[in-house]
Amino acid sequence: MSELDLPEVLAIDRAGLIDGLASSVETFDQARAGAEALDIPFSPDVVKDVLICGMGGSAIAGDLVTTLYYERLRHPVQVHRGYYLPGWAGPDTLHLLLSYSGETEETLTAAMQALERESPALGVTSGGKIESWYGEHGVPVLKIPGGLQPRMALLHMLVPTVVFLSRLGIIPEQTADLDAARDAIGAAIDAYGPDRPTEANTAKQLALRLADGVPLIYGSEVTAGIANRWKCQFNENAKQPSFHAILPELNHNEIVGFEQAGAFGEQARVVILKDPRQHRQIERRIALTRDIIKPGVADIITLEGEGDTPLARLMDLVILGDYVSLYTACLRRVDPEPVDSIGTLKKGLATTGNQRLQAGESGSI
């Protein structure tokens, strides 16, 4: 028994984000059905490359998909965060616009430029300008339910991204993998949910190890996007500094920093996310990295997702990370739902004005 088994400790999650995860299988089904039914009015033959445009909790779906399918991608796929589209994006580039609110400035700027460049486009949003502008221009938009925190609507972004890329032949056909992923989500909720006591619950055990420190999440290849997701969930849910890095790149720089980590080393809790699909050299690098950084960090944890396919294991690790970050919030006595700093920043930008964007004018703002 730990404090995470006490309902009064979990009660700080006032908006019920922890309980909300319990309906992830239904969310998955809804997102999959919506994406499979959406009419795509252009032929897959026109798509030569793909830009997945978004920010934050919406864009992360792009990271998860591009890193998971990287060596199976049949066309270039890149995640675009920011204002200016790359120069190469043109009429052969599919722009997949992901914005939960439909109001995120950077994503709207990308959306306008995609229209100007007469690129094929698809949107996924709960409303806002993405829905209205794209509606006016006949761009297909998958409308998803509103009222959620964007980061907690991940399946509404991730599942359609997989379905669209599969339908357009950018990645291999995914029917069986999606079925297996659905099973993995159900199993993860059972394994990591709040009803399972700490002694049998990996998510609660991890939260207890990570709540007091700075989680450093390391991924590689198929787990690279998951590492970023975990980091962002610690930031936004637990209001905790957290960072991520990727193997093998971190073997060429970050490991040296732990030689003289000083007081930061006492805070550093390293979580390494691995997968059986990784290159065998990654396995060796993980073992060596652990040995090299061990004297400079407070804790090192290595995790592998449960499941028979890469997508299923990704779902398992993503749901695990969501629960860990939410339990960590409870241990740190913070309500996981509000993200005041993001709201303050967006309000500041709105008042200092991006008038042309508000008016839906030119993309070159």
Torsion of CA 212, 206, 192, 235, to 10 degrees: 50
- When the beta carbons of 182 and 229 are compared against ligand F6R, the nearer one is 229
Active site residues: 236, 252, 346
Largest CA distance in the chain: 59
Q: How far is the CB of 309 from ligand F6R (least distance, A)?
A: 27
- Bridge-partner residues for 215, per DSSP? 269
Give the span between the Cα atoms of 129 and 353, in whole angstroms: 16
Q: Taking the CB of residue 104, how many other CB atoms lie within 10 A of it? A: 26
Tell whether residue 161 is a contact of ligand F6R (CB under 6 A).
Answer: no
- Bridge-partner residues for 217, per DSSP? 244, 271
Tell whether residue 99 is a contact of ligand F6R (CB under 6 A).
Answer: yes
Stretch that binds ligand F6R, among 67-75, 93-101, 272-280, 300-308 (CB under 6 A): 93-101
Give the span between the Cα atoms of 192 and 204, in whole angstroms: 7
- From 4, 21, 53, 55, residue interacting with ligand F6R (rule: CB under 6 A): 55
Comparing every residue's Cβ against ligand F6R, the nearest one is 56
Stretch that binds ligand F6R, among 49-57, 111-119, 173-181, 317-325 (CB under 6 A): 49-57
- When the beta carbons of 238 and 300 are compared against ligand F6R, the nearer one is 238
Torsion of CA 184, 96, 41, 125, to 10 degrees: 70
- When the beta carbons of 104 and 289 are compared against ligand F6R, the nearer one is 104
Stretch that binds ligand F6R, among 77-85, 95-103, 266-274, 282-290 (CB under 6 A): 95-103
Tell whether residue 240 is a contact of ligand F6R (CB under 6 A).
Answer: no
Q: How far is the CB of 325 from ligand F6R (least distance, A)?
A: 12
- When the beta carbons of 57 and 120 are compared against ligand F6R, the nearer one is 57
Structure tokens of 62? 């792009």
Q: How far is the CB of 8 from ligand F6R (least distance, A)?
A: 25
Contact 118, 92 (CB under 8 A): no
Q: Are strands 268-274 and 77-80 parallel, antiparallel or unpaired?
A: unpaired
- From 30, 78, 101, 251, residue interacting with ligand F6R (rule: CB under 6 A): 101
Relative orientation angle of helices 175-192 and 154-167, to the nearest 10 degrees:
160
Contact 354, 266 (CB under 8 A): no
Task: Say which residue the tokens 């997968």 belong to.
Answer: 275
Site for ligand F6R in 336-365 (CB under 6 A): 339, 342
Tell whether residue 132 is a contact of ligand F6R (CB under 6 A).
Answer: no
Tell whether residue 235 is a contact of ligand F6R (CB under 6 A).
Answer: no
Contact 62, 79 (CB under 8 A): yes
Q: Site residues (CB under 6 A) for ligand F6R?
A: 55-58, 99-101, 104, 107, 149-151, 236, 339, 342
